[in-house]
Chain A
Amino acid sequence: MSTPAKLDEKTWGELREIAARYPEARSGLLPMLHLVQSVEGRVTPEGIEACAEILGISAAEVNGVATFYTMYKRKPVGDYHVGVCTNTLCAVMGGDLIFERLKEHLDVGNDETTPEEDGRRSITLEHIECNAACDYAPVMMVNWEFMDNQTPESAVQVVDDLRAGAEVTSTRGPRLCTWREAERVLAGFPDDRADEGPTAGPASLAGLAIARENGWTSGADAGSDKGESK
């Protein structure tokens, strides 16, 4: 078996491990490409060849998949991927202004990365589509962690802290890891941060709080409203 130089044996083993999770190996391709990104910082030709060899399909087929999904990147991604939602609702609520401010502040365009500098972390900036957090608009994602209810000023603060290497915590989640570490979790290799962060953010609890105040329930037998069925 030919093993391309850049991917080590551990990675080859983990790629095979992903394929083995499924009734049919090819189902592993999406998480396998996430693993390639975690190791390589992008989808590389070596990574494509490795996936193709393990799954017994052509590199062209793997390439076809890798170019279809927007989370797969062909250019190197920085230490942190910052995505600003500019779909309609977030855009209207301020996402457009946040994205403009970050482009100016970081001096990069869409889908571009700040240069490598000594002592500074790099950031890839991208505008993204709806990320299912509209009740926290305008929303920014860092390595696909929620940064809720942003303003241009708060967004600038986040990217400045990230570049300086300071610890930044998701507004509704854990301490932020790097983009490569995030990609490894997406490949199905969990880190130890599931227990960090809250159960829910404030907006998620808006209706529940009103129900509690009024004593409203579903009349269900199970759960905390036990015995109050009507």
Chain B
Amino acid sequence: MSDTLTPVLTDNWDTERAWTLASYEERGGYAALDKAFAMAPDDVINAVKESGLRGRGGAGFPTGMKWGFIPQDNPKPKYLVVNADESEPGTCKDIPLMMASPHTLVEGVIVSSYAIRANTAFIYVRGEVLHVIRRLQRAVQEAYLAGHLGKNIHGSGYDLDLIVHAGAGAYICGEETALLEGLEGRRGQPRLRPPFPAVAGLYASPTVINNVESIASVPSIIVNGPSWFAGMGTEKSNGYGIFSLSGHVSTPGQYEAPLGITLRELIDLAGGMREGHELKFWTPGGSSTPLLTPEHLDVPLDFESVGAAGSMLGTRALQLFDETTCVVRAVLRWTEFYKHESCGKCTPCREGTWWLVQTLAKLEKGEGSEADLDLLLDQCDNILGRSFCALGDGATSPISSSIQHFRDEYLAHLTHGGCPFDPAASTAFSPVGAEA
């Protein structure tokens, strides 16, 4: 039985200057390299497969299986690209990881690149996090000087170059093929699949794209063994993950726990909701995952259980809203975000998100009629499953789930002639919130 919280990736975040190579090596950092180099690359892939690690960027695809898709008989170079474009609203785990311990990621990049036989790797980090980029740049520089990167690493005969690449502001670049477009110096618009990146990715060469947390988890699996990792979590959702609590909770923050912990347990750990208030709705894994309510507090936060509850585990971005929050206002703002970030490539998303905003904005102002709710659901129906990539699908999640759970609140805007909530009451600095 695992402990309630299982710090692995967060374990050195309370160390002074944890971002430095000296600090990282002092606690056994880079030990996974020699262990991996003593294994055949395929055995490293098998270890990750056995661990049951599933992608931590939201989709939950088995990491080892993804690596196994790389056609090793393809004569082109192989590439590893780390998706560090963390932009899904509510998601805030990769950024503190890279700020506190960039070497954890760099070590993971080296082991993972060795496994897929890549000699060049990239960290595509969103541009809007300057200090994180500084720490990554410094960590890569230190790793080169220490011989963890470059030619003949640790005398193994294995070479790897690692390039830190700053993006320039585009949510869509979190989509893996749009990210590759950005990394190739183009507009970040998704590519048609197939061919999948494993076959034709960066520069039309075999490419693995993984989330920061997935790659950062790899050294722990190599050092402690796949069964250690698989011993945590639930049957099909193995291991640990960082759960990010934000919003109207007493102690927002990062909580690293085995998959399968419940929101009730997490809120208890975080000291409850802010005093005098109660949970109204929440996202399990970012704004693209359908909203849940207090009736879902005991759903195990693993891929299967959250799916069965009608949502998705996503990035474990638990945004918690109490009864002072207007769900229509919340959903309208997310919808404006999707409209702004729609890349324009496909019609259902480009036009659809625009119409969603029009309809929602009218409802939020208390204009329109009950029939507009059906119109919204019809618009969602024309976007979901018809868009080129998951951005359009995600845009419909908050709308359809909020109408399902909070239809009366939409109607209250019509009878009230506008929003019945006081926007000041929901703020962190509201007297209502502070004194309650």
Q: Given A70-B169, A194-B135, A93 and B426 touching (CB < 8 A)?
A: yes
Instruction: Kindly identify which residue among B101, B130, B165, B343 contacts A143, using a CB–CB cutoff of 8 Å.
Output: B130
Question: Is A207 a contact partner of B137 (Cβ separation < 8 A)?
Answer: no
A138 sits at the interface (CB 8 A): yes
Measured in the bound complex, the distance between the Cα atoms of B232 and A63 in whole Å is 49
Q: Given A134-B319, A211-B3, A31 and B166 touching (CB < 8 A)?
A: yes
Residues of chain B within 8 A of A96, CB atoms compared? 423
Residues of chain A within 8 A of B188, CB atoms compared? 68-69
B39 sits at the interface (CB 8 A): no
Question: Is B92 a contact partner of A191 (Cβ separation < 8 A)?
Answer: no
Question: Is B134 a contact partner of A202 (Cβ separation < 8 A)?
Answer: no
Question: Is A93 a contact partner of B428 (Cβ separation < 8 A)?
Answer: yes
Which of under 10, 10 to 19, 20 to 34, or 35 or more describes the interface residues of A? Answer: 35 or more
> How far in angstroms is the closest Cβ of chain B from A110?
12
Measured in the bound complex, the distance between the Cα atoms of B50 and A140 in whole Å is 42
- Contact code string A183-198 (vs B, CB < 8 Å = 1, else 0): 0011110110111010
- Contact code string A122-155 (vs B, CB < 8 Å = 1, else 0): 0000001111111111100101111001011000
Question: Is B185 a contact partner of A65 (Cβ separation < 8 A)?
Answer: yes
Question: Is B256 a contact partner of A208 (Cβ separation < 8 A)?
Answer: yes
Question: Is B224 a contact partner of A220 (Cβ separation < 8 A)?
Answer: yes
Measured in the bound complex, the distance between the Cα atoms of B253 and A28 in whole Å is 35
A2 sits at the interface (CB 8 A): no
Stretch at the interface among B6-14, B52-60, B361-369: B6-14
Question: Is B252 a contact partner of A137 (Cβ separation < 8 A)?
Answer: yes
A182 sits at the interface (CB 8 A): yes
Question: Is A145 a contact partner of B131 (Cβ separation < 8 A)?
Answer: yes
> How far in angstroms is the closest Cβ of chain A from B46?
20
Question: Is A134 a contact partner of B223 (Cβ separation < 8 A)?
Answer: no
Chain B CB within 10 Å, residue with most, of A24, A30, A174, A209: A30
Q: Given A89-B246, A89-B319, A138 and B428 touching (CB < 8 A)?
A: yes
- Contact code string A63-89 (vs B, CB < 8 Å = 1, else 0): 011001111100000000001001111
B127 sits at the interface (CB 8 A): yes
- Contact code string B321-360 (vs A, CB < 8 Å = 1, else 0): 1000100011101100100110100000000000000000
Q: Given A27-B183, A133-B92, A199-B15, A92 and B252 touching (CB < 8 A)?
A: no
B410 sits at the interface (CB 8 A): no
Instruction: Kindly identify which residue among A134, A173, A185, A217 contacts B247, using a CB–CB cutoff of 8 Å.
Output: A134
> How far in angstroms is the closest Cβ of chain B from A115?
25
Measured in the bound complex, the distance between the Cα atoms of B330 and A217 in whole Å is 37
Question: Is B252 a contact partner of A87 (Cβ separation < 8 A)?
Answer: no
Nearest-neighbor residue (CB-CB) of B258 within chain A: A218
Question: Is B95 a contact partner of A133 (Cβ separation < 8 A)?
Answer: yes
B418 sits at the interface (CB 8 A): no
Q: Given A132-B91, A200-B99, A222 and B27 touching (CB < 8 A)?
A: yes
Measured in the bound complex, the distance between the Cα atoms of B27 and A214 in whole Å is 21
Residues of chain A within 8 A of B319, CB atoms compared? 88-89, 134
Question: Is A205 a contact partner of B13 (Cβ separation < 8 A)?
Answer: yes
Chain B CB within 10 Å, residue with most, of A28, A138, A145: A145
Question: Is B3 a contact partner of A217 (Cβ separation < 8 A)?
Answer: yes
Q: Given A88-B330, A207-B5, A24 and B203 touching (CB < 8 A)?
A: yes
| 4 interchain residue pairs of minimum CB distance | A206-B253, A29-B185, A207-B255, A69-B168
Q: Can you show 21 pairs from A to B with CB atoms below 8 A apart?
A: A24-B203, A69-B170, A71-B169, A87-B337, A89-B246, A92-B427, A97-B427, A134-B244, A134-B246, A134-B252, A135-B253, A144-B127, A170-B131, A186-B168, A205-B10, A206-B255, A207-B243, A210-B269, A214-B4, A218-B240, A226-B28
11 other A-B residue contacts (CB within 8 Å) besides A141-B128, A211-B256 = A69-B167, A72-B169, A88-B333, A92-B325, A93-B247, A130-B337, A133-B92, A134-B89, A135-B253, A190-B141, A205-B14
User: B residues within 8 Å of A by Cβ?
Assistant: 2-8, 10-20, 27-28, 31, 77, 86-92, 94-96, 99-101, 120, 126-131, 133-135, 137-138, 141, 163-171, 182-188, 203, 220, 223-224, 228, 231-232, 240, 243-247, 251-257, 269-270, 287, 317, 319, 321, 325, 329-331, 333-334, 337, 340-341, 343, 423-424, 426-430
